[in-house]
Structure 1
């Protein structure tokens, strides 16, 4: 394993993040504050508790998942698309490093950025509501796995995209609606039975449910299914990336 090459890619990608650190820090704080004003104050005042948890605290895992998923995809997709756009990707492809080392550098940096945003939102949320994390190790584990898996998805999107508009297509039109419909701001047990069944086909449900379990010890689906879902999604993304590098699809052409 060429750790020097991995670290070089990682540092290069992280340098872009630190150049806009203030923007990266303020944006999630403002967004989280607005969510708490709208959902926590306006709607939360009409909802006493959800399964024994105050509504303001209940939406925190969903807010964090929404942010880390979109940030992971956005950072990873732009990180690999920009070298492809300006032509420097060929320098990476011609270097004596494997596709796994390339992926570890780009995806690792994107996941790190998303983790930072998640931590910022968690801290900001604690200023609005009282949080007690029952399973802190599981919480960190779920957040890390989510950042890594969606950074892998973003890496695929960055290779697939032919222009900057397509980079935002999946996060805005697919991921964000799935998060909103995946129980981020409500429990799926509150839905009619038919819609509960339909919602279970949304893969994001399993991620949010597992992450919420780490906070409050309750989940809409068994924790084992949540781990299986995120593990299977990560494995699928790795297989797709392996195929991309093997065939050179939209990289060498």
Structure 2
């Protein structure tokens, strides 16, 4: 393992965060704060509790997960797309750096930025509502697993995309709607039976519910199923990345 190469890629990507601090950290935090003001005040005034948890606290895991998914994908996809766009990817591919080291550097940096953002939002949430984290170690483990899984997914999108527009297609038109419809702001038990069944086909439901369980010990779906879904998604992403490097898909042409 060429740790020096991994460190160079990792630190270079992290440095971009500090250069664009307003966009990378401040904007998502402000947006999340507005969600607390709008949903917590407007809806929370008429719906005081969900599963015995105050509505303001209930939406905290969903808001963190919403920011985590979108930022993980955006950070990782932009990070690998820029070298492809500028042509410097060929210098990286010709250097004595293995595909594994490249992935660790880019995905690790993207995941680190997303985890920092998630923790900042968690601290910000305490300014609006009081809550306790029932399973803090599980919360951190799920935060790490989600950040790395979706950073890996974003890495795949960054290689797949052949234009700036495609970088935003999946996060804007697929991931964000799935997060909103996946129980970020409500319990799926509130839906009619038919829509509850349909919602279970939304993979983001399992992410949000597992994360919410780590906070309050309540979930609409079995936590074991959620963990299996997350592990399966991570495995698929690893397989796709491996195939991309072995075949040279959009990397060598």
Establish whether TM, by shorter chain, passes 0.5. Answer: yes
Is contact 1:59–1:186 with CA below 8 Å preserved after alignment? Answer: yes
Correspondence 1:217 to 2:220: no
Partner of 2:146: 146
Residue 97 of structure 1 and its aligned partner are, at CA, apart by 1.8
What stretches of structure 2 of length at least 5 have no aligned partner? none
1:237 and 1:105 map into 2 onto residues whose CA distance is 16
Correspondence 1:245 to 2:229: no
Deviations 1:100-153 (A, max 9, x none): 111000000000000111011101111000010000000010011000000000
1:33 and 1:249 map into 2 onto residues whose CA distance is 40
Is contact 1:206–1:226 with CA below 8 Å preserved after alignment? Answer: yes
Partner of 1:77: 77
Q: Select between 65-74 and 16-25 the one with higher mean Cα deviation.
A: 16-25
Deviations 1:138-184 (A, max 9, x none): 00100110000000000000001111111011000000000001011
For residues 36-51 of structure 1, the aligned pairs below 5 Å read 36-51=36-51
Is contact 1:28–1:120 with CA below 8 Å preserved after alignment? Answer: no
Partner of 2:118: 118
Partner of 2:185: 185
| Number of residue equivalences | 253
1:37 and 1:22 map into 2 onto residues whose CA distance is 21
Residue 2 of structure 1 and its aligned partner are, at CA, apart by 1.2
Residue 37 of structure 1 and its aligned partner are, at CA, apart by 1.3
Residue 29 of structure 1 and its aligned partner are, at CA, apart by 2.5
Q: TM-score, normalised by structure 1?
A: 0.98
1:118 and 1:215 map into 2 onto residues whose CA distance is 14
SS in 2 for 1:168: helix
Residue 70 of structure 1 and its aligned partner are, at CA, apart by 0.3
Q: TM-score, normalised by structure 2?
A: 0.98
Partner of 1:160: 160
Correspondence 1:97 to 2:97: yes
2:5 and 2:184 map into 1 onto residues whose CA distance is 38
Is contact 1:76–1:154 with CA below 8 Å preserved after alignment? Answer: yes
1:24 and 1:71 map into 2 onto residues whose CA distance is 8
Deviations 1:36-70 (A, max 9, x none): 11100011111010010000000000000000100
Partner of 2:20: 20
SS in 2 for 1:74: helix
Is contact 1:188–1:196 with CA below 8 Å preserved after alignment? Answer: yes
Residue 21 of structure 1 and its aligned partner are, at CA, apart by 2.2
2:82 and 2:25 map into 1 onto residues whose CA distance is 23
Deviations 1:69-106 (A, max 9, x none): 00000000000000000000011111112111110000
Residue 22 of structure 1 and its aligned partner are, at CA, apart by 4.1
